[in-house]
Structure 1
Amino acid sequence: MMGSFIWLVTQGSPLLAEAAEAEAEAGGFGLNFDILETNLINLAILVGVLVYFGSKVVGKTLSDRRERIETEIVAAENRAKEAAAALQKQQQRLTEAQAEAERIRQSATTNAQQAKEQILAQVGIDIQRLKETATQDLNTARERAIAQLRASVVAMALQKVESQLESGLDENIQQQTIDRSIALLGGSK
């Protein structure tokens, strides 16, 4: 391409220059195709140098950018894999924690039921013991009352006997008392 451009400039420039001058003299717009006047050679060299060296710089820049993008993509994929692994691990921990919570809840329910049964059994034992104690206390109180009544009856009987003794025993009563005493002792009469 560069060769075609140079050939066009060197071979076609006198013809083009004449056509441009004729157009300029006619009062219209025209182009100057004189290579030396327009400095097209310098421009062609400058464009060639830019294309030659610029393509290397642009290629290197694009290559570097591509490598950075590829590196960032690989790093992003690695982070995504790590995040997925961390998510899986956390989900597993969550599942384990839920299972442990369920086990603790069941254990607490079982322990509560056992404690309830133990308390009810102990309450039953305590109620039975209180009933027995109340019965014993009632029997003791009854026995005390009976003993007090007996003591009272004995005291009253003694008092009556003493009063009768003081008033004197007639002979008939004395004889009956003696006979009873002998009969109680095993005598005859």
Structure 2
Amino acid sequence: MSIIGTVFLLAAEAVAEAEPEGGFGLNVDILETNIINLGLLIGILFYFGRKVLSNTLNDRRSNIETEILTAEKQAKEAAAALSEAQKNLTQAQAEAKSLLAAAQENAELAKAAILERAEADVEKLKQAAARDLDTETERAIAELKQRVVSQALQKAEAQLSSGITDNAQQTLIDRSIALLGG
């Protein structure tokens, strides 16, 4: 029970003793009502209780001040951490943008290089196809020449084997001599 509760209890007992029949009245007899004892008790309680109450309130005040200072310190630390996190976020976003721009630039360069290489490959394929076509054409012409020569030789042999008339033989000899320069 607190000190003040004790004081009220004592006062209530004093009043109850003063009026035994159960009614309410005022007893002014100092000795019978123990007013002096109550006064001394209240004075002692006030004198010593003031120190205890003052110490308790001072302790409570210092605890509250300490908690407020701690809360303010934590709020400042949280604000600093938030500021740092926002700064880091801003830096990370800027770095992400620069990385994205660099990646896009690299992709464009790679695309241009691939297209250039593809064009060069297409040109090489065209040149190779043209060479193959020229080679094939030359081979076909050589084969045709060979067939024509072969057929001409067969025809000439056939005519020679059937015989040449004396006049044709003389004419052929004369032409050959004329061509040789004689």
Which residue in 2 is equivalent to 1:41? Answer: 36
C-alpha distance in structure 1 between counterparts of 2:179 and 2:118, whole Å: 56
**1:166 CA displacement:** 1.0
Other-structure match for 1:98: 93
Decide which of 50, 59, 72 is 2:54's aligned counterpart: 59
CA distance in 1: counterparts of 2:38 and 2:98, whole angstroms: 86
1:180 and 2:175 matched: yes
Report deviation, 1:29. 5.3
Higher-Rg structure is: 1
Count of residues paired in the alignment: 161
Unpaired runs of at least 5, structure 2: 1-18
Q: After TM superposition, list the pairs within 5 Å mapping 1:112-131 onto structure 2.
A: 112-131=107-126
Question: Quick one: structure 1 residues 145 and 29, their matched pair in 2 at CA, closer, same or farther if it must change by over 3 Å?
Answer: closer
SS at match of 1:31: coil
Greater RCO between the two (CA within 8 Å, min separation 6)?
2
- Tell me which of 148, 156, 159 is aligned to 2:151: 156
Please report how far the alpha carbon of residue 176 of structure 1 lies from its aligned counterpart in structure 2 after TM superposition.
Answer: 2.4
Counterpart of 2:25 in 1: which secondary structure? Answer: coil
Which TM-score applies when normalising by structure 2?
A: 0.83
Instruction: Return closer, same or farther for 1:50/1:29 CA change in 2, 3 Å cut-off.
Output: closer
Which consecutive aligned stretches of 4+ in structure 1 deviate over 3 angstroms post-superposition?
none
In structure 1, list runs of 5 or more residues that go unmatched.
1-23
Report the TM-score, using the length of structure 1 for normalisation. Answer: 0.80
Question: Percent same amino acid among aligned pairs?
Answer: 58
